[in-house]
Structure formats: structure tokens, C-alpha cells
Amino acid sequence: MRSLLLLLTLTSSAFAQIETSVSKVKVFDGVVGARPVGSLLFIDAASEPKLVDAAIIKIVTPAKFVRVRARSKGTFDLTPLQKISETEHALIGQGRFAVEITTFDPSLGIDDAVVDVELQEPKPNGPDGDKFDRLAARVATWTKGLTKNKELAACYSDASRRLLEEPATTINIAADQIVVCRNKVLQNGIQSYTKFIEELNADIKLRWGSAPFTKAVMAEYYQEVVRGLAYE
């Protein structure tokens, strides 16, 4: 069991053959081996629980066949839905989505509906913490008030993902990819980020001299950079 849903609010709408309700919920993602005992919830030590926004879409229709799909309004890409029951689907993510519902019944014909769902992008928990000597907090200080932090964070986030998911991606390859991405994002504004770049390079050089990073540690380091860049 990886996700726990907490019900918050309810909105409803109706169409010719389709009645829908959207429940805004919170999801504990990353839960492994959940075991409720009274008011307590025991989880495996391997769990890395994270509270994220989600929604449950409930569909009531007399039609025999129902198809439900969700698309991101920003990219129009399909977004996975998790089926909870025959009438309920969970949407987990951040942003604005169009949930497309199509029904068919031999006696009723075809009907369709679109339900808009907006899930807020979570704000970072803050840059405080002791990982890598409060690296996220230091990054937030170095880049405070700069305008390309969000785009730059994507460069480090992608490098972290590649290190964890792609065996062929080495630490050096990931670093080179960051430089290419960073130059593309910052372009003529790279001078504004001189302090950030110099301080980060010095920090990595100092740590590398003491004990070279593994790919997993380097990926975690980059995630702390992302947290610092995302903090407002």
C-alpha cells in the first residue's frame, strides 16, 4: 500500500447521463507496509512518506461502459489515474487537468463530459535542514531574488533523475549536462548566478576531495540544490 487518501472537500456537477463529484484529498505517498492499529499507523522503515495534493473523481452513470482519462492542461499529455473502485478514480499530481469521461450504453447511446481539476503545486518545506551542511538553505541565499531559479532547478532535477535511473549516466556526464542546460536557461543572465555557481563548485570540490561521491549521493546533493532553488 503506497498511498493513503485523506478527504477534504467536495464539489459536484451533472451531465445528461453522467453525474460527477470531485473530492480534494491529501495523499501520503511513499508508504510501505502500512498497518493501522487503532489511531496509530505503523509503516515499514523503508517508507519515505510525502504528503501531496490529489483528487478523487467519482462518476455515477447508468451507462454500461465508461472510459476516464486525464490530460494536463499545460502539455495535453495523458496523466495516469489510479482506479479506486468501479466508480472512483484518483488523480495525483500538480497543475491543472481536464478529466475526460466518455460513456456508452447500447440503449442510451454515447455521452461525454469534461471535468476541470486543479491541484496546487506544493510549496517546498523550506530550505532548512542539515543535509550537506544546510546546502538547500545556502543555495536559497545565493539565488534569492533571481528570476531563473525555477528553470535552473529543472536542470539539476533532471541530472538527479538520470543518475538514479540511467546506468550509462556517470557523475561527469550529469555534470556536463547541467552545464549545457544551465547555459541554455541563463544565457546572457548567467552573470547574475556567478556567486551561486562559484560557491556550489567550491562546495562540491571540497567534499569530493574528502570523499568522492557515489551516483546516489550526487543525485541527493542535486536534489538539495533543487530545494534551495525552489524556495521562495
pLDDT per residue over 184-219, tens digit each?
Answer: 999 999 999 999 999 999 999 999 888 889 999 999
Cell of 132: 550537506
The whole model's pTM is what?
Answer: 0.48
The pLDDT tens digits for 6-29 are 544 455 555 557 999 999 988 888
Q: What is the sign of the dihedral through the CA atoms of 78, 80, 85 and 88?
A: negative
Backbone region of residue 97 per phi and psi (left: phi > 0; alpha: psi in -120 to 50; beta: other values): beta
CA atoms within 13 A on the CB side of 62: 7
* Mean of the per-residue pLDDT values of the chain: 86
CB atoms within 10 A of CB 139: 27
Q: How does residue 226 score in pLDDT terms, banded at 50, 70 and 90? A: very high
Of the candidates 25, 32, 30, the residue with the CA atom closest to the CA atom of residue 5: 25
Question: Is residue 114 over pLDDT 60?
Answer: yes
Question: What radius of gyration do the chain's Cα atoms show?
Answer: 22
Q: How far apart are CA 52 and CA 30, in angstroms?
A: 10
Average pLDDT over residues 113-138: 77
The pLDDT tens digits for 80-90 are 899 999 999 99
The predicted structure's pLDDT at residue 120: 72
CATH among 3.40.720, 1.10.357, 3.40.50, 2.60.40 for 3-119: 2.60.40
CB atoms within 10 A of CB 30: 15
The predicted structure's pLDDT at residue 7: 47
User: In a 3-state reduction of DSSP, which class is residue 208?
Assistant: helix
Backbone region of residue 120 per phi and psi (left: phi > 0; alpha: psi in -120 to 50; beta: other values): beta
Q: How does residue 1 score in pLDDT terms, banded at 50, 70 and 90? A: very low
Cell of 140: 536559497
The pLDDT tens digits for 147-181 are 999 999 999 999 999 999 999 999 999 999 999 99
The predicted structure's pLDDT at residue 51: 79
Cβ proximity of 193 and 181 under 8 Å: no
Q: How far apart are CA 28 and CA 202, in angstroms?
A: 37
The pLDDT tens digits for 50-67 are 878 899 999 999 999 999
Q: How far is CA 146 from the centre of its chain?
A: 23
